[in-house]
Chain A
Amino acid sequence: MELERGLRLDRMRIARGGADLVALDMTVTPGETVAVMGPSGSGKSTLLAAIIGALDPVFALSGRVLLDGRDVTDLPTEERRIGVLFQDALLFPHLSVGSNLAFGLRRSVRGRAERAARVEAALDEVGLAGFAGRDPATLSGGQRARAALMRMLLSEPAALLLDEPFSGLDRDRRARTRDLVLDVARRRMLPVLLVTHDNEDAAAGTRIVRIGGDEEDA
């Protein structure tokens, strides 16, 4: 069987108490952004939890999750190499901005100086040069979102999930941050799954998939 690049959800079904909540069968190819839309309660967050391996045990999952042909369905979250950005940046409040990024940076990057340089370069890439020593609580919402993005990219994920990303930001800043994230992802040829109920968010994707409601379809 030929290795298929990208994130493939192979006949994935999530059920609760015997009733199907989400059923999807699709592939997100490298560099593509698929927006999954649905009203609240349609199982968007559950779908996301299933893909990253943090599904609550009350749900039953069938089907496979394949990443670049590798079956990750039974792997724990930390071995999947799927990066995720939530509604909030979720920077660790006890670590400085730089330490947060270093937390994400792969262990294979060795040496203090080299690691610090990589963190500084990542901060520089999103306009946060010189922020390494800062307390995350002193950053603006947009700055936090960008720091969280770089923290994730430093862990070298093979796919990206965005859960209603940046919904805490105002409209203008939100659009700019989203475009930045999608642009960075495209340049790295990452498959992106964007879960949202916002039409503008969804329009930024290359394809829209709707779940829940009457249009439950893959």
Chain B
Amino acid sequence: MLGPVAAGLLGALGPAFGWLPAIGADEPGFAVFRDLLAWPGFMDAARLSVVTGLASTFLSLGLVMLVLASLHGTRAFEAVRRLLSPLLAVPHAAAAFGIAFLIAPSGWIARAFSPWATGWERPPDLLIVQDAGGLALIAGLVAKEAPFLLLMSLAALGQIRPEREVLAARSLGYGREAAWLKAVLPRLYAQIRLPVYVVLAYSMSVVDVAMILGPNTPSTLSVQVVRWMGDPDLALRLRAAAGALVQAGLVIGALGLWRLGEIAVRRFGLRLIARGGRGRSLRVLRPVALGAGLLSGAAVILGVAGLAIWSVAALWSFPELLPDAMTWRNWARHGPGLAEPALRTLGIAAAATMIALVLTIGCLEAEHRRGLRLTSRGAWVLYMPLLIPQVAFLPGLQTLMVAGGLTGGLGAVIAAHVVFVLPYVFLSLGDPFRAWDSRLATSAAALGARPDRVLWAVRMPMLLAPGLTAAAVGFAVSVGQYLPTLLAGGGRVATLTTEAVALAAGGDRRAIGVYGLAQTAAALLPFLAALLVPRLVWADRRGLRDGA
């Protein structure tokens, strides 16, 4: 996993320092960086990246901790938990479009309050989506990243098993929330630190969501880098490479800042714990937690509903809550053009997921047979493609691939997707695979079964449900990839995601609705299959019914 990342960063070094002979740049020096700094939007773009990244990470983490502290173990939490899988599966671009449709001046929220409360007969002239401060971008990121952090926390909590600690603390007179924050959170955070860093790096450098919800005056640095990459003026490639390196530097700096924050919070927290406050009044947070959690989930779900309605909307004038009529005309118009990118999207996702699954099962099985354990350093390697911003190493990787004549094909896109699919497949299959009772393997071996037979006749059939879930996760990740598709494909491999993001500038809501919904379906349907197939296959096996 280090290979592509290192190659990509190295590939950006040459052009960033003014050396790209292919376009006649052969005078190494700092001229490119001076050029980048002289670009008038530089400071704003860089600040925007840092602020939106830190703010959305802080808010996502805060929301997850609030929900867990107030609601974990309650019945309301089950509702939140059930929302989790669909929320995770909705691709970033589709969720961003959906949220844009909700909060835009002509969106559902404005329509719901107009004209009776607002007096608006026409959409107000307000810049809500793509606001200069990046607030819409932050909101969109929180709605997608909070579910991810919640999922990671739940996986960690499965190992921590906090119920008894919370009970012990509560019997000492601590309120539920305080017991959770003081007895569980410190251990939980240690386990989800890496995913938090991933969220921070991702939020700072995301491209597709920032193109849809982020400002244009200027855009975030990563969006700007991608624009320069695609500019017909090849000299701007140099500036793009320099920008990519600066972006990587910003992420590393922000990670360092976050680490300092962790240390400060830890000191403060320890002192707070030593004071022994029982915090029973924190109970008032419970409705806040529930409200905030539902609001965040509802934003994505209503957003997708909005996409669905726009995709079948005939005339839909402000401030009507629903269109005058429903029609298939939008689908008829975009359907033929949709088929090819849809098939390509599914093919790429299937191939990348398959490769990632084979590699993952191979790794985990080797771990099992040789008695190895993934060290924390190994985990860092696995997370590396998620920690280094895509926009920082993909342009360099593209330059190298162009030099090697590898770019532009489906193969290159699939290879690039595997880099990002593999970590998620590994993370999602790793725990169930390791948690499997290995006495069953010993039992099978004692009956004379060779290791391959144990794997394919006993272990994998029993792990059908988590295996399919991992495949669905990988599939959804691949479907949602924007930048790797764009860059590895040299802009010539069109998928549902690249087509949808390309529509962002045009503002044709019906077309966006069609493409966004198709993208969501492509990511969501495998999750449904992963849920249903094991129930059908193991319908008469009670021991496996609750998802082994």
18 A–B contacts from the bound complex (CB under 8 Å): A52-B442, A78-B446, A78-B447, A86-B439, A90-B437, A94-B461, A94-B462, A94-B464, A94-B541, A103-B444, A103-B449, A104-B448, A135-B542, A135-B543, A136-B543, A137-B541, A137-B542, A155-B447
A114 CB within 8 Å of chain B: no
B449 and A137 contact, CB distance less than 8 A: no
| A155 B448 Cβ-Cβ under 8 A | yes
Answer whether residue B528 sits at the interface, using C-beta atoms and an 8 A cutoff. no
Given the known A-B contacts A92-B462, A135-B541, A137-B543, are A84 and B457 also in contact in the complex, defined by CB atoms under 8 Å? no
**Knowing A93-B462, A93-B548, A138-B542 touch, does A77 contact B446 (C-beta < 8 A)?**
yes
Answer yes or no: A16 CB below 8 A from chain B CBs.
no
Alpha-carbon distance between A138 and B371 when the two chains are bound, in angstroms: 34
Do the beta carbons of A93 and B439 come within 8 Å of each other?
Answer: no
Contact with A along B434-472 (1 / 0, CB 8 A): 000101101111111111000001100110100000000
The reply to whether the CB of A15 lies closer than 8 angstroms to some CB of chain B is: no
Leading 8 A-B pairs by shortest Cβ distance: A93-B543, A137-B542, A77-B445, A137-B543, A104-B447, A155-B447, A57-B371, A78-B445
> Measured between alpha carbons, how far is A94 from B543 in the docked complex, in Å?
7
CB distance from A144 to the nearest CB of B (A): 11
CA distance A125 to B448 in the complex (A): 22
Given A78-B450, A84-B446, A92-B440: A103 and B457 interface contact (C-beta under 8 Å) = yes
**A92 neighbours in B (Cβ, 8 Å):** 440, 444, 458, 462
Please report the total number of B residues contacting A with Cβ < 8 Å: 26
Which residues of A lie under 8 Å from residue B443 when comparing CB positions? 84, 86, 90
A206 to B244, CA, bound (A): 76
Q: How far is the CB of B392 from chain A (nearest CB, A)?
A: 39
Q: Which residue of A76, A81, A90, A94 has the most chain B CB atoms within 10 A of its CB atom?
A: A94
**Cross-chain pair count, CB within 8 angstroms:** 78
CB distance from A126 to the nearest CB of B (A): 17
B314 at the interface (CB under 8 A from A): no
Docked pose: A77 CA to B441 CA in angstroms: 10
Q: Would you call B233 an interface residue if the criterion is a C-beta within 8 Å of the partner chain's C-beta atoms?
A: no
Asked if A214 CB lies within 8 Å of chain B CBs, one says no
Residues of B near A106 (CB, < 8 A) are 448
CB-contacts of A172-216 with B (<8 A): none
CA distance A103 to B446 in the complex (A): 11
Contact (A93, B544) CB under 8 Å given A56-B371, A57-B371, A86-B439? yes
B508 interface residue per 8 A CB criterion: no
Interface string of B413-446 (1 = CB under 8 A from A): 0000000000000000000000001011011111
Other-chain contact of A82, B444, B446, B449 (Cβ < 8 Å): B446
A-side residues, CB < 8 A to B, are: 49, 52-54, 56-57, 76-84, 86, 88, 90, 92-94, 103-104, 106, 135-138, 151-152, 155, 157
Q: Which residues of the partner chain B approach A82 to less than 8 Å between Cβ atoms?
A: 446
Q: Does B540 contact A (CB under 8 A)?
A: yes
**18 additional contacts, CB 8 Å, given A54-B442, A90-B440, A135-B543?**
A52-B442, A52-B445, A53-B445, A77-B442, A78-B445, A78-B451, A81-B448, A83-B446, A84-B443, A86-B443, A92-B458, A94-B462, A94-B544, A103-B444, A106-B448, A135-B541, A151-B447, A152-B446
- What residue in chain A is nearest B442 (Cβ atoms)? A54
Given the complex, which residues of A lie within 8 Å of B450, measured CB to CB?
Answer: 78
In whole angstroms, what is the CA distance A9 to B548 when docked? 38
Roughly how many angstroms separate A49 CA and B441 CA in the complex, as a whole number? 12
Q: Mark B118-149, 1 if CB is under 8 A from A, else 0.
A: 00000000000000000000000000000000
Q: Which of A76, A103, A155 has the most CB of B within 10 A?
A: A103
Tell whether B538 is near chain A: CB-to-CB under 8 Å. Answer: yes
Contacts of B371 in A (CB 8 A): 56-57
CA A31 to CA B448, docked complex, whole Å: 22
Query: What separation, in Å, do the CA atoms of A83 and B448 have in the docked complex?
Result: 9
